Amino acid sequence: MPRKALENILYAEDENDIRAIAQIALEDIGGFNVKYCTNGKEVVDATRDFVADLLLFDVMMPEMDGPSALRELRQMEHYADVPAIFMTAKIQTNEVEQYKTLGVIEVIAKPFDPITLADTIKKAWADYYG
Amino acid sequence: MDSLFNWFQSGNMPERAVDGHYNWGLVALSFAVSVLAAYIALDLVGRYRIEQKKSTRYYWFTAASFTLGSGMWVVHYIIMLAFVMPVTQEYIAGWTAASMLAAIVSSGTAIWLLRNKSIQTYQLWLSGSVLGLGITFMHYLGMQSMLINFEIYYVPVWFIFSVLIAFGAAISSMFFAYSRGEPIVNKNRLNVSALLLGIGICGTVYIGLEGTVFFKALHNTRSDYFFNTIKDDQLAFFMVGLTVLIISVSLTASGYYKQMVNAIENEKEFLNVMLDNLEDGIIACDDTGRITVLNQYLQKNMDPSKPAKKLEDLTDLFGFETMDEKPVQGKDFPLTRAFNGDMIHREAFIMKFNDHIVRDVVIDGQQIINAKNKKLGAVTVIHDVTELKKTEKLKNEFVSIVSHELRTPLTSIRGSLGLLVSGIMGEFPEKAKKLLEIANSNCERLLLLINDILDIEKIEAGKMKFDMKTVSINEIIKESIEANKMYAEKFGLSLDYEPAAKDSAVTVDPDRLMQVLANLISNACKFSPQGTRVVISVIGTRDWVRVSVKDMGPGIPLEFQSRIFQKFSQADSSDTRGKAGTGLGLNISKTIIEKFGGRLNFNSVADEGATFFFELPVVMSDGSALLEDIEEEPPLPKKRLLICEDDDDQAEYLRVLLESAGFITDVANTVGAAKKLIAQHDYEALLLDLILPDQDGIAFIRELRETEATASLHIIVLSVIAQTGRSLMNGDALSVVDWLDKPIDFNTLLSSINRVKKRGDSELPHILHVEDNPDTQHVISVLLEKHAKVSKAGNLQEAKEMLEKNSYDLVILDLLLPDGNGTEILPLLARHHVPVLVFSATTLNENYAKFVSKALMKSNSSNETLLDTIKNLLKG
């Protein structure tokens, strides 16, 4: 796969406040182009007109949670290989192990540090493609 | 043959035969008594056979023999009475007694032959034959007793017939009752057996009588028996008495039996009710696989229509599945496994009754084997852990919720504050910035608390993972101080670092070690008065590195010290205002340090502060570098050591090395010189060669141990025969710190000396206790065990001598001593500048008050008061 800079992120988070903070962290600090969703359903809808380089999902969301959304996207041809990151407060050992079985490249614990969030994501991206 | 022929009197019949007739009422009675006696006797035999207790067995045996023997004898004489003849009947007492004896002895023998649980066929034959013989003898001996008024002739055919009846009835009766080999004879069979025996006894007598021809004696043929005859009415009385006796034996026996049965029933009921009331299921079977216990817990969940008789039936009643939901069948069924000899220990299963009742269970099971190693069956105990599992699940859910629900709002708060504090959103006025920083750091702390709770959860579930790396302790501490500086400043405190001269490498999970340091530092901060310092210091030896965090707070209350590492423990809830914590930190820290192979502990002095320290094993990378470490950083600076060694070169070598390592050393070439030096100085340890010119080293050790002043002196043996010496001192090994072979490895020697420090009491204050009562001496030494080294003096003279030799930090003085009043040495003590605690049963004269720091009365001082007083005095 041709190496390309990380640019477009599809981000799902149901909490407005957290989304607002993440927006600063991802756009202002990270300089990414971000598509925002509030649950898994919206993610599935968003895939129609958004091509993401990376998926950043919360786990617990109403209607459709992060893991379900990821499974759904993996069925789609152009989303089958897009690297995914979960950013969640559910980080007990067994929970994290479950995420790993879904093939996520990184699990970021909440509360996250908005200052370093972009760097963390970039590093995971670099590790994945490096 | 002739005598037998005479006995039958064949062919020579006189013509004076007497005819008798039967009293039919007595005939009926004879049958009734006969059958009754046989029945009671056989019943008693049954009890004799099953009774376990020896004394009671003996009782049953006697009762059964007596009942059967005297019963048949009574029957015989009832029949004699029933046979009415026109001549007065009298009986010769001797023959009467002989017939009774024959009856009882034969009965006893016959019953004794039945004593074993399992009876062989030959035993039945034998027992029946003995009884048959007894019946025959009893009857014909009885007949002999009638010879006073009669001459008697027997018709051989009838005689043989009567003997056959006796044997036949007795043997068939025995076979009927006991040939099946049952331990307890079935009631109906017992009845038939008794009937056979009873009729047999009567039959023998009646047939015997039928074959007897009586002739009236012309004169008293046996006048010599004249004085020993029994009249028939006397006999009747005697027989009634015997019958009453038999019946009372029988009644007593059945009363006793009933009591016994009741006791067994009660015990059985007790056990059953107990088993039924258990919250656990219990199934047991006997050695044939027959189910003997199936308690209420199981029955209430089972289909009542299905029987549970055999092991194999159980699978129809309930099923087990392993935790991964595979059904357990056949030989794997828990009780079957236990029955076949498996030991089942706390294995988890899912238990299903009728498909709709599902329980989580943990099973224990094993064979039941008695003291004689005989397998009696098997038992399984099914512990129902369904509720426990539910609780555990709820707890896990709760933890997950706490984790998630608290973290979600915290994510917003921390994110917002972090962005604001970082300055990315522009600068704020100084005051506003300060507030934002406070909010931010408290937010961080809140996060720490949540993490603590989750950590404890992980530790308890054994799920905490460690990412071990070899790192520099110095770096980690510096990093940790940097990270906690802000926190300390908030309390108006400074964090001071006193590093070791050389760094040590340790293998730890750096993040977890940072967590421990943060915990210790934040605890120290919480309890430090404003403006003071929290000192983090490191000292290292070759093997260990100790990191201490010392505060200048109030110290840890004594009553809290024992609970300090428990979960959710906090010293005093009223005292923790503004010192918010979870009470989990120390528990977590201790666990983490222990995972690193180290230990975490504390020292505390009231009003001076607490020191928490942890020790970690040092990773050996380069031995020479480590030796340098030690030389630069002596483990025991300014401690005095005595080297007792006759070889000057070796002594000099040790002296140079040890002095360069920071010790003061003295050298003695002989035991004599060593003794002199020991009397002059207080040594940290004695380094002793075993082969010395003037005395054998082992003898010297023993001598030192027997002298009180040197009893606790630390000794390190350095010798080419160190191992031999060790075996010589076997059993007294504790008195010597270490046994080192020459040539000496200096690192090993240093670590031995270091152990002296750890084990040693030289840092403890030294107290002289002047007291003549051994009980008080003992109490004080136990009380002060951990706080001071106590030397004892039993009288004034001893005290004076000890004061000349050693210096003490405190003298505890009794006043009434064998050789004078304690006040006599007060001026001497004053010259030594030693604080004095008078602890006596008498009051102190006021004149002496100026010499004494404190006086306590023995009668009204509690141990606590005493200990507190001593501690205060020691602090000076």
pLDDT one-digit tens code per residue, B815-864: 888 888 888 888 788 777 778 888 887 777 777 777 787 877 777 777 77
Contact A93 B400 (CB under 8 A): no
Query: C-alpha angle B161/B164/B165, rounded to 5°?
Result: 90
Give the gap in angstroms from C-alpha A39 to the nearest C-alpha of chain B: 16
CB nearest A112 (choices: B403, B411, B413): B411
User: According to the model, what pLDDT value does residue B735 have?
Assistant: 59
Q: Coil, strand or helix: which one is B282?
A: strand
Taking residues B788-792, report their average pLDDT.
84
User: According to the model, what pLDDT value does residue A67 have?
Assistant: 94
Which phi and psi angles does B492 have, rounded to 5°?
70, 35
A/B interface, count of CB pairs below 8 Å: 67
- Give the whole-angstrom CA distance, residue B383 versus residue B843: 66
The continuous run of DSSP H or E covering B229 comes out as strand B229-231
Contact B418 A113 (CB under 8 A): yes
> Residue B573 pLDDT more than 80?
no
Provide the pLDDT confidence category of residue B437 given band limits of 50, 70 and 90: confident
In chain B, residues with a C-beta closer than 8 Å to the C-beta of A24 are 419, 424
Taking residues B11-40, report their average pLDDT.
80
User: According to the model, what pLDDT value does residue A36 have?
Assistant: 95
Residue % of chain B over a pLDDT of 70: 87
> What is the 8-class DSSP label of residue B310?
B
More confident residue, B169 or A92: B169
Provide the pLDDT confidence category of residue B628 given band limits of 50, 70 and 90: very low
Give the gap in angstroms from C-alpha A3 to the nearest C-alpha of chain B: 31
Provide the pLDDT confidence category of residue B710 given band limits of 50, 70 and 90: confident
In chain A, residues with a C-beta closer than 8 Å to the C-beta of B447 are 111
User: According to the model, what pLDDT value does residue B169 have?
Assistant: 92
When scoring B411, B446, B450 by the number of chain A Cβ atoms within 10 A, the one with the most, hence best to mutate, is: B411
> Residue B236 pLDDT more than 80?
no
User: What does the pLDDT look like over B519-542, one tens digit per residue?
Assistant: 899 889 988 888 899 999 998 777
Taking residues A22-44, report their average pLDDT.
93
Residue % of chain B over a pLDDT of 90: 11
Distances (CA, A) of B42 to A7, B49, B146, B522: 106, 10, 31, 89
When scoring A93, A96, A98, A120 by the number of chain B Cβ atoms within 10 A, the one with the most, hence best to mutate, is: A93
CB nearest B415 (choices: A21, A60, A93): A21
Contact B418 A93 (CB under 8 A): no
Provide the pLDDT confidence category of residue A7 given band limits of 50, 70 and 90: very high
Among A39-48, B44-53, B108-117, top mean pLDDT goes to A39-48
Give the gap in angstroms from C-alpha B870 to the nearest C-alpha of chain A: 52
Strand order in the sheet with B533-540: B494-498, B533-540, B544-550, B609-617, B599-605
Provide the pLDDT confidence category of residue B623 given band limits of 50, 70 and 90: very low
Taking residues B400-415, report their average pLDDT.
82
User: According to the model, what pLDDT value does residue A31 have?
Assistant: 93
> Residue B626 pLDDT more than 50?
no
User: According to the model, what pLDDT value does residue B109 have?
Assistant: 92
Query: C-alpha angle B539/B540/B542, rounded to 5°?
Result: 165
User: According to the model, what pLDDT value does residue B3 have?
Assistant: 54
The continuous run of DSSP H or E covering B174 comes out as helix B156-178
Best CA proximity match to B100, nearest among B64, B59, B142, B65: B142
Kindly report the average pLDDT of chain B as a whole number: 81
CB nearest B419 (choices: A21, A92, A94): A21
- Give the whole-angstrom CA distance, residue B85 versus residue B213: 12
User: According to the model, what pLDDT value does residue B106 have?
Assistant: 92
Q: Which residue of A has its CA nearest to B464?
A: A93
Give the gap in angstroms from C-alpha A50 to the nearest C-alpha of chain B: 27
Taking residues B38-61, report their average pLDDT.
84
Which phi and psi angles does B363 have, rounded to 5°?
-115, 135
Count Cβ atoms within 10 A of the Cβ of residue B702 and give its class: 0-12 exposed, 13-18 middle, 19 or more buried. middle
In chain A, residues with a C-beta closer than 8 Å to the C-beta of B511 are none
User: According to the model, what pLDDT value does residue B747 have?
Assistant: 66
Give the gap in angstroms from C-alpha B467 to the nearest C-alpha of chain A: 14
In chain A, residues with a C-beta closer than 8 Å to the C-beta of B422 are 115
Among A61-65, B320-324, B691-695, top mean pLDDT goes to A61-65
> Residue B457 pLDDT more than 50?
yes
Distances (CA, A) of B464 to A107, A125, B480: 18, 28, 21
Contacts of residue B74, defined as CB under 8 A and 6 or more positions apart, other chains included, come to: B33, B37, B239, B242, B243, B246
Contact A110 B410 (CB under 8 A): yes
Distances (CA, A) of B676 to B684, B689, B709, B714: 16, 17, 13, 17
- Give the whole-angstrom CA distance, residue B604 versus residue A21: 46
- Give the whole-angstrom CA distance, residue A32 versus residue A50: 14
User: According to the model, what pLDDT value does residue B858 have?
Assistant: 75
Distances (CA, A) of B869 to B775, B776, B784, B835, B839: 20, 16, 12, 12, 11
> Residue B696 pLDDT more than 70?
yes
Give the gap in angstroms from C-alpha A78 to the nearest C-alpha of chain B: 32
In chain B, residues with a C-beta closer than 8 Å to the C-beta of A115 are 418-419, 422, 424
CB nearest A114 (choices: B407, B419, B465): B419
More confident residue, B382 or B574: B382
> Residue A119 pLDDT more than 50?
yes
B178-187, B498-507, B632-641, B775-784: range with lowest mean pLDDT: B632-641
Sequence letter at residue B633: E
Best CA proximity match to B816, nearest among B837, B794, B800, B798: B794
ipTM above 0.85, yes or no: no
Provide the pLDDT confidence category of residue B477 given band limits of 50, 70 and 90: very high
Residue % of chain A over a pLDDT of 70: 98
Provide the pLDDT confidence category of residue B224 given band limits of 50, 70 and 90: low
CB nearest A17 (choices: B403, B407, B412): B412
Provide the pLDDT confidence category of residue A27 given band limits of 50, 70 and 90: very high
In chain A, residues with a C-beta closer than 8 Å to the C-beta of B463 are 93-94
More confident residue, A25 or B692: A25
> Residue B876 pLDDT more than 70?
no
Burial of B608-617, coded b for 16+ CB within 10 Å and e otherwise, reads ebbbbbbbbe
User: According to the model, what pLDDT value does residue B576 have?
Assistant: 43
Sequence letter at residue B618: V
When scoring B397, B408, B413 by the number of chain A Cβ atoms within 10 A, the one with the most, hence best to mutate, is: B408
More confident residue, B502 or B167: B167
Contact B411 A110 (CB under 8 A): yes
Best CA proximity match to B769, nearest among B808, B732, B740: B808
Provide the sign of the torsion angle of the four alpha carbons B320, B322, B327, B328, taken in this order.
negative
> Residue B22 pLDDT more than 50?
yes
User: According to the model, what pLDDT value does residue B705 have?
Assistant: 78
In chain A, residues with a C-beta closer than 8 Å to the C-beta of B416 are 17, 21
Taking residues B22-34, report their average pLDDT.
88
Q: Which residue of A has its CA nearest to B415?
A: A114
> Residue B439 pLDDT more than 70?
yes
User: According to the model, what pLDDT value does residue B108 have?
Assistant: 93
Best CA proximity match to A30, nearest among A120, A111, A112: A120
Contact A28 B424 (CB under 8 A): yes
User: According to the model, what pLDDT value does residue B733 have?
Assistant: 47
Contacts of residue B552, defined as CB under 8 A and 6 or more positions apart, other chains included, come to: B528, B529, B532, B533, B534, B608, B609
B178-187, B276-285, B787-796: range with lowest mean pLDDT: B178-187
CB nearest A29 (choices: B411, B424, B463): B424
Distances (CA, A) of B140 to B8, B77, B104, B212, B276: 12, 12, 15, 10, 63
What is the number of residues in chain A? Answer: 130
Provide the pLDDT confidence category of residue B307 given band limits of 50, 70 and 90: confident
Please name every residue paired with B642 in a beta bridge, in sequence order, or none if there are none: B666, B686
Best CA proximity match to B124, nearest among B168, B178, B162: B178
Taking residues B166-184, report their average pLDDT.
84
Greatest Cα-to-Cα distance within chain A, rounded to the nearest angstrom: 36
User: According to the model, what pLDDT value does residue A3 have?
Assistant: 59
When scoring A86, A87, A92 by the number of chain B Cβ atoms within 10 A, the one with the most, hence best to mutate, is: A92
CB nearest B400 (choices: A25, A92, A113): A92
Taking residues B445-472, report their average pLDDT.
78
Taking residues A78-90, report their average pLDDT.
91
